[in-house]
Structure formats: C-alpha cells, structure tokens
Amino acid sequence: MFVNFNRYTAMGRLLLIKFMMCCCIAVAHAEGNDIVIGQSTALTGILAELGVAHSTGAKAYFDYINSQGGVNGRKIRFITLDDAYDAKKSIANVRQLIEKEKAVALFGMLGTPANTALLPVLEEANILSFAPVTGADVVRKPFNRRIFNIRAGYTVETEKIIDHLNVRGIKKIGVVVQNNAFGKEGLAGIEQAVAKHQLKLTATVGINSDSSDLDKAVSAMEAADVQTIILITAGKPSSDFIQAFNKKVKGMQYFALSVLASQAGITALGKDGVGVIISQVLPFPYSATTALVREYQKVMGKMGVTEYSYLGIEGFLDAKVFVEAIKRSGKDVTSERLITALEGMGRSDFDGFIVNFGKNNHQGSDYAELTVVSKDGRFLR
C-alpha cells in the first residue's frame, strides 16, 4: 500500500506510522488461536484523519487487553485495511478479511457509502458488523440483527442542532449537502428535525466530494440570504465551503456533524473555524472528568500519543464494549455467539458512558452534545 505522508499533519503522520508499525508487528506474531477482528477504513484519502484516529484508539485498547493476557485465554488480532473512503475497495477488503483472514466480526467500518455497500455481504457471509462509524439510518433502519451501533445516528445529531436553532429563534436555515449517500442520509435527518418544529429549510445546496462545484454551491447559498448554515459534509468540502463563503459573507454561523470533529480539519480552517458549532456523539476527550476519559488518556499515553480526539475515544470505547461481548461469548467466539452476548448485555455502564443493547435494540447510545471551536482552534463544550 502506497501512502502519501505529505497529506497529513505532523501528528497525523506520527499516528499513521505508529499505527502501521503496530499492525505489522501484530500480524507477524499472530497465532492460530487468535480472535480475528477485521476493519476496512480510510487510512488515506479525504477522511484519513478520522480513520486513523478511530483505528488507533481501538487498537490501543485491544493491545492493552492483549498485554493483560487477552480474553478467556485468547489474544485479539485486529486487522485494519485501507480503503481510502472508497466503497468498492472497502468491499474488496471485507471479502479478504472474511475469506482469507477468517475474521469473526467486522469492526468500525467507516462511512455511509461503505456501510451501505456492505449490507448484502453481511447477509451472504452471516457476519456481525459492530460499531460502524456512520450515523446513517441505513445501518439502523430497518432493524438488522447483524449490525450493532454505538454512536448516535445523524437524526439525533441534527435534532440537537435544530433544537438549538429553534430556541434561538433562527428560521432562515441553509443546508450544504455532500453529493453522496452520507449527504442524502444527513439531509433526511435535518428534514425530519425541522418538520418536528414546523420549520422549513430556506435553501439546500449540493456539493461534490472533491469540491469541483464549490463556486456554484457558494453562489447559490449566498443568493438564499440565510441566517445560519448546516454542513452535511465530510472532509475537503467542509473546509473549502466555509473558507470560500467567508470571503463573500462575513459573520455566518456554521453548524456541522461529528464527522467534522477532526483536529486536523479544524486546524486547516484556521481563523475561519472559530465559532463553528459541531455536534458530538462521544464524551469530551480532552478533560479527564470521567473514568472512561481517564482510562482512554492513560492507555493512549502508553502508546506515546498525547493528542486526544473524538474519533480516538470513539474507537477506544467501541473496542471496550466489544471486548465485553467477547468475554461473554466464551472461548469459542463466533459471530452468532457475539450477537447473543451483545443482545444480552442490556443497560451497561462503561465507566460513565451508558450502552444499552437488547434483542430488539441494536442502537447502543443516543448521546449527543454541541461543542464550539475556540479562537485557538480547540473544542469547547
């Protein structure tokens, strides 16, 4: 796999190097008795910062468990393959993980396009997909017994944003929607939330993932004369639109979903990022106010990583919950046993973060809060 390290910030390059080295070491020392968990995610491409952060957080916890002797006498082998946020590559990776690596479950599959394409494969292979990194309804509705979600859906995030705007009395709302499956799902959540408050969107503008139609999108939104703009975008279109629109219109208030919660993305925005409000679906990872955050920071510190992130703590928590399911599955770990274990978990407290699974409920959390980007480029609650 060729990786263009120039695409990353210094911290991003360090995280990626550490992650890839650990993966190589883990594979080289794999034993036949290992519990194999597979992940396809973006280690390169427009969402690389998110994919690397999530995988690093998950791997940190799996490595910690292995250092304690593993689970029920077995080590966890966490295999991550790069798909560069390309659904076709993701499915090819998944087939490799299932057929060659003999993964008992898929973990942390990133992105709405990949998770949408994965649905028939789950049925065909009869395999569990745990904690997909998407808020899309496609992994939530209709109910699928092979999929378990932890992060809240985009409908929860968008409702949090619209509730906030409603309280402030803001009526003229514009939405910038990425022209892919993610954008379509996010827009559906926005439309549902505004209907609840008997509001209407003033303008909805599409934008391509490569920002090739940026000027057109900016002009259309400028003509709409809105009070606030909600971004249903991920990666490049987010920063491109905000920076371009700010050159045309001063003082616009922007809202974005948790996929914009990359420190590198905020840093890239610079002064244009100040005041952007972002919904989050995991606890604030920068202040050790809960046992979960304290453990996350401690374990990441052992890996030499002192830059914390929302995607990092999400991967960490996902791994922590999954390890509990493995413990409850016994020594013979299969997808079916993991599904039974998760459905029997009920309402569980993971060091202050509640996850609630049941036989007819595979949505573990509806946690959501709003954060704002400060003048020095940090997230504030």
Residue 16 banded pLDDT, cuts 50, 70, 90:
low
Fold annotation for 5-151+288-357: Rossmann fold (3.40.50)
Cα pseudo-dihedral 258, 264, 270, 273, rounded to 10: 0
**pLDDT reading at 47 higher than 60:** yes
Tell me the per-residue pLDDT of 296-335, one tens digit each, with 9 for 90 and over.
Answer: 999 999 888 888 999 999 999 999 999 999 999 998 999 9
Report how far residue 318's alpha carbon sits from residue 46's, in angstroms, rounded to the nearest whole number: 23
Close Cβ partners of 169 (under 8 Å, ≥ 6 residues apart):
none
Nearest to 326 by CA among 139, 123, 105: 105
Q: By three-state DSSP, how is residue 380 classified? A: strand
For residue range 133-147, list pLDDT tens digits in order: 999 999 999 999 999
Q: Above 70 in pLDDT, residue 26?
A: no
The per-residue pLDDT for 11 is 55
- Specify the range with the lowest mean pLDDT, choosing from 181-190, 218-227, 275-284: 181-190
CB 368 within 8 A of CB 278: no
CA distances (Å), origin 75, targets 54, 230, 276, 366: 20, 44, 42, 31
Spatial contact of 268 and 237, defined as CB atoms under 8 Å apart? no
Chain centroid, CA 106 distance in Å: 15
- At residue 244's C-alpha, the angle toward residues 239 and 250, to 5°, is 110
Work out the average pLDDT over 7-23.
57
Residues of the chain with CATH 3.40.50.2300: 5-151+288-357, 154-280
- What pLDDT, in 10s, does the model give residues 250-260? 999 999 999 88
In the predicted structure, residue 18 carries a pLDDT above the cut 90: no
Q: Please state whether the predicted TM-score (pTM) of the whole model is above 0.85.
A: yes
Best-predicted range by mean pLDDT among 185-189, 251-255, 263-267?
Answer: 251-255
What is the torsional sign of CA 315, 321, 325, 326? positive
What is the second-level CATH architecture of the domain 154-280?
A: 3-Layer(aba) Sandwich (3.40)
pLDDT for residue 2: 44
Q: Is 377 within 8 Å of 273 (Cβ atoms)?
A: yes
At 5, the pLDDT band (50, 70, 90 cuts) reads very low
Distance CA 105, CA 35 (A): 9
Burial of residue 375 (CB within 10 Å: 0-12, 13-18, 19+) is exposed
Stretch among 111-120, 127-136, 190-199, 310-319 having the lowest mean pLDDT: 190-199
